[in-house]
Structure formats: structure tokens, C-alpha cells
Structure 1
Amino acid sequence: MAAPQTPYEAVLHAARDVAKLDCALDAEMLGTALLGSVYAVAEQDRAAAVREFVGRFLTATARRRTASATTIREVFAALVPDAAGAADVRPGAQAPAWSAQLGRVHPTGCYAYGDVYGDQTSYLVTFAYDDSQDGGPDHAVVALIDHNIGITKDVFVGGPAQRILGQVREMCATDELTWFREEDPGRVRVEVSRHLQITDGLSDLPSDGSLATDRALAAARLALLPAATTPPLPEPHELSHPDRERLIRDFLAGPEARRGGLGAIQTDDELSSLHFCLSLILDHAMSLPDADPLRWSPAVAGLFLLDWVHRRAVLDMDDAAMLPRVTRAWSAYATRRRGLPEAAVEQAGSVVEEMIDEFARLYATGERRSPATAAVAQLISEGVDPNDTAAIDAWIDANRHRLNDDPS
């Protein structure tokens, strides 16, 4: 058989057996996988790219009369109902009996679960077809939101719904570092959708999971949830200068700072390093999507100690020696303030300890410094005050031979 000449021919070829499937869910799973290919390769707004593709596909295949062509048109119209022409799609003469059940589902349960640190929240919604004989089995949509990067990191559609729900309940019941609750359907719709919009705009998608393949079906299901009836989750706000000062004073007066010997620091150099390191912890927190300096976890510690601080800050030897001490104490302080279980407090502290050697290595090699940070570090190493504009200009004039890209 000759290779398909257009993307639309390729879809028709891939869906050539769609009318032979057993139920609507099987067809919707095939359809979402096909649209996942479009989503994965889109360069900008991925959801818009899928919507535009479906609109063009419906136009290009409007005169097709085979059972597979008319059926996959119905499937796409059900998955992306806001695509151009979707509302005009009608069943074909050879439509399988289950085609009337495409998209005809209702939610039967809505839940949320996650880790006690607040790194990730998963939302799970179970659905049933109005007619399970033609529609197919109950199934679940699971969406994973990563609060450290502010995106819907993965979505998954699968079944049986009660098996998936049971596995999640059991996992959370046996792990004291996780929680589980019933959730308002409207909140699920709002939270997943707003984070999914950010995911749609990423240049590179998360590499693991079923985000691309299941995205169209998951979004279609979540769009069936009602509007929110509970207040939205609070939006993060940037700490004011007085708020930062109060938080630092509270930390320094606490038992964690005393145990780390931070409250007894007297010399000007050490005090300067102490407050600089505390400012780095707060600045890093403000760079995260939820901007809460008390939301501390092993993952946040890793982002801070092994990545952010090397790219964004210039540390002298005193700062590099002080930062592990401050980070240890902050880990204990933040987890206590949030009332986390003792196991979470211990885990966070242990992970920080394990990271200190790698932090020291990265500091010594400078391999994760950004170009701007490396430039400032070079100025400081040569005795130039990075806050002195005249001194910087003089240094540039004296080093033009090193800065000039032209070897001549």
C-alpha cells in the first residue's frame, strides 16, 4: 500500500479499524492517542494546534463515506467539540451502535491526593457511560499537578475506575507522607485546567507518562464537570519587606537556629553571610509558582541547593560555608511551622545532609553557574565591586582583549 500523502490520510489509515472496536471508550482511547501525536509535535499552543488540526481534518474528510472515516470523524468531534465543524458532524450510515455513546458519560466520584510537603497534587475523577453496554466500562481520569514547576505534569485515562481508586486509597492509607480526600468537582476542573494551559505552552513536554496521548480525552472529560462551588485555592503573594523581616526574626529566635549555632553569631562577616543565605532561601521560594518559603521538601531543597543557588547567586567562601548550616536549620524550621509529621521532618533533614557534598562540589567546579553569575564571580575574584559602575567600566576597558570575540 502506498504511503499516506497527507496527515489526514495518515489518520484515516491508522483508524481504519475504528468501526470494528467493541465500545465507545476503546474508540475514544484510539482517537486521543492519534491526536496526541499532533499535541506532541506542536511548537506553540498545543491545545490550539489540536483544535485546528481537528477542524482541518473534518473539512478534508467531509465527503468520505466509509465506516472508518465517518466514525473517526465522530470520535474527533466528541473529543474536541470546540473544533471548527465539530457540531455539524453526524453519524454515518454504517456507524457502530456504540457511536451514540461517544462522550456520553457522567462523573461518579471526585478525589484529590498528594504528598504532605505540597510538591504534587493528583486529582482523580471516575466516570461512567450513560449506557455501559455500548459505552464501555467505568474509567478514571487522573491528573498530576507539580507545584514546584506549576504545570499539569501528566494525565492518565484508564480503568476499571474502582480498581484505580482502590489502589490510590490503599497507597495513601499506608503512607503517612501522603493524604487523600474527596474533592469538589469544580475545583478539580479549575485547578487542572489552569495548570494544563501552562503545560500546553511548554516548548518541551515532560518526557514520562501519558500526557500527550491522553490529553484530549482527559480534557473532554474534565469539561463535563460542574462549575466550582468552593472558593478557589489561595493565590500566592510575594512577601513584603516587613513580612520577610518578621519571618527571619522568627526563624532566628527558634530552636532550629539555636541548635545550628546561628543565634550566637556575632562577627560582622558571619552575620552578613547569615542574612545573605536567608535572603537566598526566601528569594528562591518567591521564584516558585506557589511562592511560600515555608513549603519545604526534599524536592525544594534539591532545586535550591543543587541548581538555583548556583545559577542565581555569587557566593564567597564564607557564604558557601554558611549556606549548608542555614539550610539545615531552615528545613527543620519550615517543616515544624507547617506541622508536618515527624517522618517528613526527618526525611527532609536527611536529604539536605545528603546534598551538602554535591552542593560543595558544584560550588567548587562552578559548572552550573549561569553566564551572568560567572561574570560577576570573575569580577569579584579580581577585586572589582559589582555594585561600582565606574570600577566595572574600568575593568571592561582593561580586559577588552579578553572580551572581544574577534581573535584579530
Structure 2
Amino acid sequence: MFGMSPVSRARKKNPQPAAHSVNGLFKDVLRDFSGLAAEPGPFDVELLASEVLGQWWDLAIEGDAEGGEQLGLELIAFAQRKITPGAAALLAALKVVAETEEERTAAADALGVVLGRGIPEPEWAASVGQVTVGECWRTGDVYGDESSLLCVFSRGDATLGLLALLDFTERGRVRDLVVIDAPIEVLTEMRAQAAEDAELVVLDKIEPADAHRLLVDGIAETDGMEEPEVGADYARFHAIALTWCRALPEPSASLEVEEWAPARREAAVDEFVAASGLEEREIARLLVDHGCETEPANPLRVGPEKLARFLEALLGGEYELEDEDALAPVVLAWAAWAGAREGLSEVAVAALVADVTEYLEEYLAEEPDEDEPNDYLDGTESPEEVLAVVERRRFAVPSLNTVIGDEELTDLDPGDPEQRRLLVIGEHPEYHESLADDSFDGEPRLHLALKTTLVDQLWDDSPEEVWPAALRLAERGLSRDEVLGELVAVLEGQLEETGEDRLDYDLDGYREALEQV
């Protein structure tokens, strides 16, 4: 929901020359630092150093480099052998901006060597990393799936912002980093977005120490992944983000997250089953396990992206299901239950259910025989009604495909009465030849008309006694065809002739008869 919208105002990237060898790369880096003005802008040194270190992430070079840290140490050793202002400038920057303590110590030692040869220390050296911490703000979706964290830093009259995209569906990792020139304008945008969509967007001012924890832990989570998906600027601003984090107050010690034991996971499933009335436990347990894996601090938190990741895991084969048919009802029920459990507003829960319904459509599209939950909804249902509506309408119209005569009809709209009638006709191939004949009348025509009427009643839930009667018959072990046959007989028993040469039925008598089923 929340991307890095202020990227358009991100610091512009300096073009870097292509490097074909380690030495060639290192010479280019020294040339860049030699080109710094005697009095560069307050943040120019840190930004250039961060961009240089960011190149290690995807660099294709000749030779056998052992990762970014090894390249950093080699660059420091290379600069130490030079007697140039560029070498002193580079080392003065890296002793603060380098990403590991080993690199920073090596850069400080190398700088001492270079200065000992008579090269003057840059006038700006003491100010590198010395920033004043401003306000920290976080905006995101009300569910807690993602948030954008804005931290403001200043030096002298210059102010920059660090914007981080946090993904809490993957242990709060940082997906992108951007340094922006106009943090106040970005904050204004955040406030406007929160004001315009207060039910789904939250904006909070947070303590700098909390921002420190979110940034450091989130970056560490991403850096620990084998092949993390990150934004285009993540590597470029990685080093400067860690540098400025050291200016933020140290967070208090984090509470150790206790892994949920099997008994606690089963208790969560029990709570869901009791609240939803669904007996399907397999998928509920998988949802709990997924939450424990991706968000151990809050496994039952729910959001559209978190549930989308769960469905992606199913498609990817991370989990196996015994009952695919139960997936949509259980996931929709889980969304409504967990959303209410988190105290989300009715609007937020409704939006969550709508998003999850779309995700289920995409998931079920992989299974061509499955009909989409959204085909059975018209958007007016409340979150609490969705599951019951889908169940009732799926009973009335179990498939959206049919064959009438030699014609195959697919993806019909069950909400259209005429297309719904075609689906009813398709269930009776014994009538297909005679339907086109003007002589199609009598008992077959009446039976088809009554069944179509009954399916319409189930679809519209009117009269409301029809569906409970169907459920009672199904509980006795009757198949769907047998249930519909019994209900058609009840409806036929209430038919009465009208003066307009057509049949109608006694509604009150029909309702009473249904209650007796």
C-alpha cells in the first residue's frame, strides 16, 4: 500500500564510471573524492561515500573479490598507499561512514598513515557523521503490513530526510531506503494522506530511539537474506542510513520474543474455530504457523499483504492442503475474525475482506475448476455476511460453467437472473432437445420453472426461510439434488392459479411449510 512515494525528490545519483578491475574501480573512487570542493556541502561527503560503498552490492569486476566488506578493506589499503588529498578525503569519510567496525578502524589507521606523510586532513573531517536528529514520523496502513519511516537530520542550515520502507510481513525488514532533500514536504504529504483516508492510514510521531530500533533491526533482517528483493536505492543509501542511525539515541533493550509452543498455536486455532463456527482446522493452523514464522512478535496480526504472502506460500508449495475447497471460506473468516480481534474499524475490516477476496480470486485462478468467491458477491455484504453469502449462493449455483445441447457456456455471471437460469437448465440435459420445441410444456416445464425460482430464492435469500430449510435437509444426509427436489415439492404444494392464466404461490403458506421441513 505504501511505496516510496517521495522518490521523485530523492538525492540525484552521481554517474559512476564503469570499472573493469579492482584497481580501476579504486582509482575512479579516489578521483571522485579528489573532486570534492575544499568546502563541500554539509552532506556531500557522506552521500558520496555511501554511493561508493553501495557499488559493492552488484559490482561485476575481474578478479576474485570476497564480498563487499573485503572490497572495502582493499580500497582502504589502496588509499593508504597514496600521497594525495583524494586519499585523505576518502579515508576521512570511511572512518565514519564505512559499514563495519573493522572497516572504520582500518580507515582511521590508514588516515593516520596518510596524514603522517604530510597530506593535510580535510577541514570537514570532524563533521562527518555529526548530525542533529530531528523529528521521526511513521505512516502506514492501519493493519500494520507496511509503513514508511521518515527521520529528519540536519547539519548547519541543511536538512535532509531518510525515508525507509518497512515490511512487517517479513519480520519488519527494510525494503528500500531513500535520502530526500525536502523532508518537510514529504511530512506534509503524509499528513494529507492520513487525513484523507483516516480509516485506513495512520500517521504517528515516534521516539528517535524507536526509529533507531526499526531501522537497524530492519536493515539487519534484509542484509541477512540470501537474495533480498530491495528497491533501487537501497544499496546506494545503505551506508549513510547506518551512519545516521548511530546519531539516533540507543533504544532500550528489546524484549526477547518467545516462540509460540504447539499448545499455544492450537489454542489460537480453537479460538478461531469457536468464533467462526467453521470446523476446518488445517488451514487455520497453517495461518497461525505462517504468522509465527513471518511475524513472531505478533503472529495473529492480520493485513491484506500478510494474507497475500500466505497465499503466495501456498502457490509456492511451502504448505500443502488436504482440502482446497475450504481455503476461501476459512481465509475470509480468518480475515474478519482476526481484524475484529485486533480492534480494526468496520471500514478497515470490510476493506481487508475485499482485498483478500481479490487475492483469493488470483489464487483460485490457478485452479480452473474453482469459481471465484467474488463471483458470488455484489459488494454490499458486510464482513460478517461474506462467508454465509458465499456458502448459500455456491449451494444455489455450484458452477459457473455448463453445457446446453452442443454449446459449452463458461464463466457465466450468476448474479444475472437470465444467466443463472441457463445454469439451472444445464443441470437437466434431459430437457435440452425439447426446450427448443414449442410443445415443451406440462410437468417438465413446471419443474424447470420451479427449480429456477427456488435457485433465485436461495441466491436472493428471499424468503429467508428457504436457506435454513435447505441446511436442515443437508444435515440429514441428503445430496444437493435431493435437497432441491424436496424444496421444489414444498414450493409446488403452495401453487395457486391466478386469473392471469399463470401460477403463483401463497407466500405465507410457503414460509410455514418451509419451517416444517
What is the TM-score normalised by the length of structure 1?
Answer: 0.72
Q: Distance in 2 between matches of 1:315 and 1:352?
A: 18
Instruction: Give 1:65 deviation, angstroms.
Output: 3.5
Task: Say if 2:360 is the partner of 1:342.
Answer: no
Q: Alignment length, in residue pairs?
A: 336
1:104 corresponds in structure 2 to 130
Q: Give 1:147's match in structure 2, choosing from 159, 168, 173.
A: 168
2:50 corresponds in structure 1 to 32
Q: Give 2:194's match in structure 1, choosing from 172, 179, 183.
A: 172
Unpaired stretches in structure 2, ≥5 consecutive residues: 1-16, 61-65, 370-517
Instruction: Give 1:25 deviation, angstroms.
Output: 0.8
Task: Say if 2:14 is the partner of 1:10.
Answer: no
Task: Say if 2:374 is the partner of 1:353.
Answer: no
Contact 1:32 1:216 in 2 (8 A): yes
Contact 1:320 1:363 in 2 (8 A): no
Task: Spell out, residue by residue over 1:117-161, the C-alpha distance to the aligned partner (whole angstroms, 9 max, x if none).
Answer: 1112333221111x44xxxx1111222221112222222222233
Compared CA separation, residues 244 and 206, structure 1 to 2 (3 A): closer
Q: Give 1:228's match in structure 2, choosing from 232, 251, 269.
A: 251
Q: Distance in 2 between matches of 1:291 and 1:107?
A: 28
Q: Distance in 2 between matches of 1:205 and 1:18?
A: 33
SS at match of 1:19: coil
Task: Say if 2:75 is the partner of 1:57.
Answer: yes
Instruction: Give 1:293 deviation, angstroms.
Output: 4.3
Instruction: Give 1:99 deviation, angstroms.
Output: 4.3
Letter of the structure 2 residue corresponding to residue 68 of structure 1: G
Q: Give 1:72's match in structure 2, choosing from 90, 101, 123.
A: 90
Contact 1:127 1:161 in 2 (8 A): no
Unpaired stretches in structure 1, ≥5 consecutive residues: 43-47, 263-270, 366-408
Letter of the structure 1 residue corresponding to residue 140 of structure 2: G
Contact 2:47 2:240 in 1 (8 A): yes
Contact 2:137 2:206 in 1 (8 A): yes
Contact 1:310 1:363 in 2 (8 A): no
Compared CA separation, residues 75 and 360, structure 1 to 2 (3 A): same
Contact 2:164 2:215 in 1 (8 A): yes
What is the TM-score normalised by the length of structure 2?
Answer: 0.58
Contact 2:266 2:285 in 1 (8 A): no
Task: Spell out, residue by residue over 1:190-240, the C-alpha distance to the aligned partner (whole angstroms, 9 max, x if none).
Answer: 2321232222233323242411000001100101222224x6367363154
1:163 corresponds in structure 2 to 185
Instruction: Give 1:32 deviation, angstroms.
Output: 0.8
Letter of the structure 2 residue corresponding to residue 303 of structure 1: R
Query: Which ranges of 4 or more aligned residues in structure 1 deviate by more than 6 Å?
Result: 1-4
SS at match of 2:214: helix
Instruction: Give 1:344 deviation, angstroms.
Output: 2.0
Instruction: Give 1:98 deviation, angstroms.
Output: 4.0
Instruction: Give 1:52 deviation, angstroms.
Output: 4.2
1:377 corresponds in structure 2 to none
Contact 2:88 2:122 in 1 (8 A): no
Instruction: Give 1:245 deviation, angstroms.
Output: 3.9
2:451 corresponds in structure 1 to none
Task: Say if 2:193 is the partner of 1:193.
Answer: no
1:252 corresponds in structure 2 to 273
Task: Say if 2:296 is the partner of 1:290.
Answer: yes
1:181 corresponds in structure 2 to 204
Compared CA separation, residues 188 and 357, structure 1 to 2 (3 A): closer
Compared CA separation, residues 190 and 306, structure 1 to 2 (3 A): closer
Q: Which has the higher contact order (CA 8 A, sep 6+)?
A: 1
Instruction: Give 1:309 deviation, angstroms.
Output: 5.9
RMSD: 3.1
Q: Distance in 2 between matches of 1:56 and 1:312?
A: 41
Letter of the structure 2 residue corresponding to residue 247 of structure 1: A
Compared CA separation, residues 77 and 190, structure 1 to 2 (3 A): same
Q: Distance in 2 between matches of 1:3 and 1:209?
A: 22
Compared CA separation, residues 249 and 227, structure 1 to 2 (3 A): same
Q: Give 1:312's match in structure 2, choosing from 310, 318, 329.
A: 318
